[in-house]
Structure 1
Amino acid sequence: MAASRLPHIVLFSGGTACRALNIALCALPVRLTRVVPAWDSGGSSKVIRDSLDVLSVGDIRQALMTMAHGEGRAGDVVKVCNVRLTSGSEADARTEFAFYAEGRHPLLERMEPGLRGAILNYLRIFRAAVGPDFDFRNGSVGNFILTGAHLAHNGEINTAIFVFRKLCDIAGHVWPSSAMSGLDLSAALNDGRTVAGQHRMTALEDRDGAAGIREIALAGPDGGTARANEAVLESLESADAVVFGPGSFFTSVLPHLLVEGIVPAIARNRQARRVFVGNILQCRETRGLDLARMVEIAGALWRGNGGGERRPFTDILANRQLLPFEKTVGAFAYLSTGALEKAASTLGATVTTGEFEDPWQRGHHDGAAVANALISLLPG
């Protein structure tokens, strides 16, 4: 079947939680587009973002590397892009970066000259932009290359991603839901306090997690609106399925609905299935919530951001609860379904319950099981 006629799945997600699903979908006859957050404010991305005032690229790079893994791309470029520098001294990290930027690493030395030249050019652009005092420790070489490409192509992140995909020979698409830099995510807690920053929300302290998140807000530069990436809107036009999750509910999944233009674009595609994939476990963001309440929150946000009378989800995938009592994996309990059938009926969605937990990794999704469930929802 021609690639353009394969079913097109658009997956709104964050980072590691949907890794298994991404890899499983790469093995099936589908076209896959990942839409990732543009408001990452922690780790290596934070250091780059604060230094250069550019779009955070960490989630983009991670999704591209997952796509490469799923497609069986294990060449030298992918290996270089997967490298994380030492977390030792600043001097050691700077020396290690130079080993790559000056082309002395064996992986770079044996590359075809065109590939090698492009990578070195982006690394040198990045080094010149951040200056001599930049802290390279624990930094991702892939983040440095992608940011260098972003700078080289006049701040056009979509062009930078296109070039990065070509360097790594990746077929699948990855786009940030907004191409704007400087987006800030925040949460208002039920006790009236506010938590600012995606990285703080994903690591809520026990007191904050116990209070619970009442609502979230996504602000653009100077408090303006976060506008949708045109590449995402174009992808949604041709989608046969639009999938939300799995992933951190309040930081990786729900905020996409706050990006101006996303919800109306989904609503305009009347043929696509709209699927919410429930998580396996609670997390710091969702302690005490159940799946029914989560889809109700998502439904309210959908209606408030241009969804109109169109139902937010046609289908909800829920992990089967096999025990009649609460059980935990580490610090977190399994996510209960709650009054899911009632919530789904109110939203006009159908619930599919399955054993979606990976039998080898407790608390994680079985990517193949979820992927097969998604495929079964597509027509013919």
Structure 2
Amino acid sequence: MSKEHPEIVFFSGGTALNGLAAELAKVNPKCAYIITTFDSGGSSAALREVFDMPAVGDVRNRLLALADKENPDKANIVELLATRLPRYADKTALYGQLSHLANGSHSLMDGFSEIVRKILSDRFALFIELAGDNFDPVNASLGNIVLAAGFMAHQRILAPPIAQLSRLIGARGIVRASTVDNGHLAVRLENGEILAGQHQFTGKETDPISSPIDGMWICSGVDDPWPRPVHGSSLAINLVNNADMIVYPMGSFYSSMLAAISPQGLGNAISLNPCPKVFIPNMGFDPELIGHSINLQVERLLEVLRMDNSAYIGSEAVLNYILIDSENGTYQEEPDLAALEKFPLKVIDRTLVSDESDGLIDPQLLAPILLELASVKN
């Protein structure tokens, strides 16, 4: 008997998948998202420096995309969690805002039930107590602060605050961190340069890299590019074990998708599940993909997926389909369909771009295609 809602697991981070996640949330609450926690820039960087913790920005982003915003009470909570403190204000004034949030008197708390007000105000109060003067609140995300305080309140475990936030906003889907270990990303460029820290190569906070990425690994810190072992979380592996389909979706290729599958154990778990596995290449421009044809992307994806045991994990065990739109898609390099035939996978060429999606993938077109593929028995 077929399931009413197939359990589809996505490996991702960032914002590129938020539109699809919100679209799928309308029809399938069983979709799950395994999120990278290696970001080293923005608000996450400041929290990581103070608390020596995983990055939570991508987790918060995905949770808010899945929130039940049609419920006014939950929409009010989303508004608070999506708010950032001002970029241009002095530290005293910003901590004043956090203090109003901690005692429940901030205008963003208006309309909350007493239970919700207490949960959130307690989180802000704990954050102020633990951070002291060490945290710079400029442009800080309130959602990130709530998750960071929850992380500290639960003995440095991220799963409980994620679950709590999911309940508060009525998230219509499952979000898990890819690892419970604290790590950063490092890359080697073809010109020999090594960059430690995700923010160094995404092109968002620094100039885009001028040489193609030749490899990526997980390291201990932005000042220590030496590789370190990081293990997939048991919760993420459990999602993989039970998945009806696994998707490697569009988004920043290295810092989002490959980063999410890099922790040890995830590739092996993927290989043991006989469900369909689908790769959806990026459209538009990704600074991380200069010099990368779709064929090279497939090769790099397979390398990471087989890292746990390359001698025994075959390509067909971790990747079955590649989903493209050869007619309407705007790829950095045109897909070479003939060359893709060398891989043991099936190319699915479907309409993914609409007049309204500006040359990028339209979530309203992609969602039903994925639901259709998830219902196909291998």
> Considering the TM-score relative to the shorter chain, is it more than 0.5?
yes
Contact 1:236 / 1:266 at 8 angstroms: preserved in 2?
yes
Closer/same/farther in 2, CA of residues 179 and 352 from structure 1, 3 Å limit: same
Distance 2:134 2:37 in 1: 26
Q: How far, CA to CA, are the matches of 1:46 and 1:206 in structure 2?
A: 14
Residue identity opposite 1:38 in structure 2: T
8 Å Cα contact 2:14/2:58 also seen in 1? yes
Letter in 2 for 1:27: K
| Aligned: 1:288 with 2:288 | no
> Which of 324, 331, 341 is the aligned partner of 1:334?
331
- Whether the 8 Å contact between 2:37 and 2:54 is mirrored in structure 1 is yes
1:240 is aligned to 244
Q: Does 1:300 align with 2:306?
A: no
- Per-residue Cα deviation, 1:281-337 (whole angstroms, up to 9, x for no partner): 2321112322122112212332333361252311111132449xxxxxxxxx73234
**Distance 1:320-1:93 versus aligned 2 partners, 3 A rule:** farther
**Could you tell me how far 1:205 is from its partner in structure 2?**
9.7
Partners of 1:86 and 1:150 in 2: CA distance: 24
CA contact (8 A) 1:41 1:56 kept: yes
Structure 1 match to 2:186: 186
- Identify, as 1 or 2, the structure richer in helix: 1
User: What secondary structure does 1:16 align onto?
Assistant: coil
Superposed displacement of residue 363, structure 1: 4.4
Please give the alpha-carbon distance, in whole angstroms, between the structure 2 residues aligned to 1:186 and 1:350. 32
- Structure 2 residues without counterparts, runs of 5 or longer: none
Query: Paired residue for 1:329?
Result: none
Aligned twin of 1:326: none
| TM superposition shift of 1:220 | 4.8
User: Which residue number corresponds to residue 48 of structure 2?
Assistant: 49
TM-score, normalised relative to structure 1: 0.89
Matched, 1:314 2:301: no
Cα distance, 1:230 vs structure 2: 0.8
Where does structure 1 lack aligned partners over 5 or more consecutive residues?
A: 324-332
Residues 204, 286 of structure 1: alpha-carbon distance in 2 compared, 3 angstrom cutoff: farther
| Residue aligned with 1:12, SS | strand
Q: Can you list the C-alpha shifts for 1:101-121, whole angstroms capped at 9, x where unaligned?
A: 221123424321111111111
Shift of 1:373: 1.5
Query: C-alpha distance in 1, partners of 2:210/2:109?
Result: 49
Give the distance between the partners of 1:59 and 1:129, measured in 2 at CA.
23
Query: Is the Cα–Cα contact under 8 Å of residues 11 and 261 in structure 2 kept in the other structure?
Result: no
Could you tell me the TM-score, scaled by structure 2's length? 0.90
Equivalent AA in structure 2 for residue 191 of structure 1? N
Give 2:88's aligned residue: 88
* Residue 119 of structure 1: aligned partner: 120
How has the CA–CA distance of structure 1 residues 69 and 189 changed in structure 2, closer, same or farther, with 3 Å as cutoff? Answer: farther
Moved more, 25-34 or 214-223: 214-223
The number of residues matched between the two structures is: 367
Counterpart-to-counterpart distance in 2, 1:87 and 1:205? 15
Distance 2:97 2:204 in 1: 34
CA contact (8 A) 2:218 2:228 kept: no
> Is the contact made by 1:38 and 1:55 (CA closer than 8 Å) also made in structure 2?
yes
Pairwise CA RMSD of aligned residues? 2.5
SS at match of 1:352: strand
CA pair 322-244 structure 1, distance change in 2 beyond 3 A: closer
Matched, 1:68 2:67: yes
- The residue number in structure 2 matching 1:357 is 353
One-letter amino acid of the counterpart of residue 232, structure 2: A
Tell me which amino acid in the other structure corresponds to 2:255: T
**What is the identity percentage for the equivalent residue pairs of Structure 1 and Structure 2?**
25
2: CA distance between counterparts of 1:340 and 1:71? 42
TM alignment of 1:62-211, pairs within 5 A: 62-68=61-67, 74-90=74-90, 91-181=92-182, 183-203=183-203, 209-211=209-211
User: Structure 1 residues 320, 69: CA separation in 2 closer, same or farther (over 3 Å shift)?
Assistant: farther
- Cα distance in 2 for partners of 1:124, 1:177 equals 28
Question: Paired residue for 1:366?
Answer: 362
Aligned to 1:212: 212
| Bigger shift: residues 302-311 or 129-138 | 302-311
User: Aligned to 2:17, what secondary structure does the other structure show?
Assistant: helix
> Deviations for 1:166-206, whole angstroms, at most 9, x for unmatched residues?
2222241111110112x010110111111111111101899
Q: Is the 8 A contact 2:203 2:209 kept in 1?
A: no
Q: What SS does the corresponding residue of 1:86 show, helix, strand or coil?
A: coil
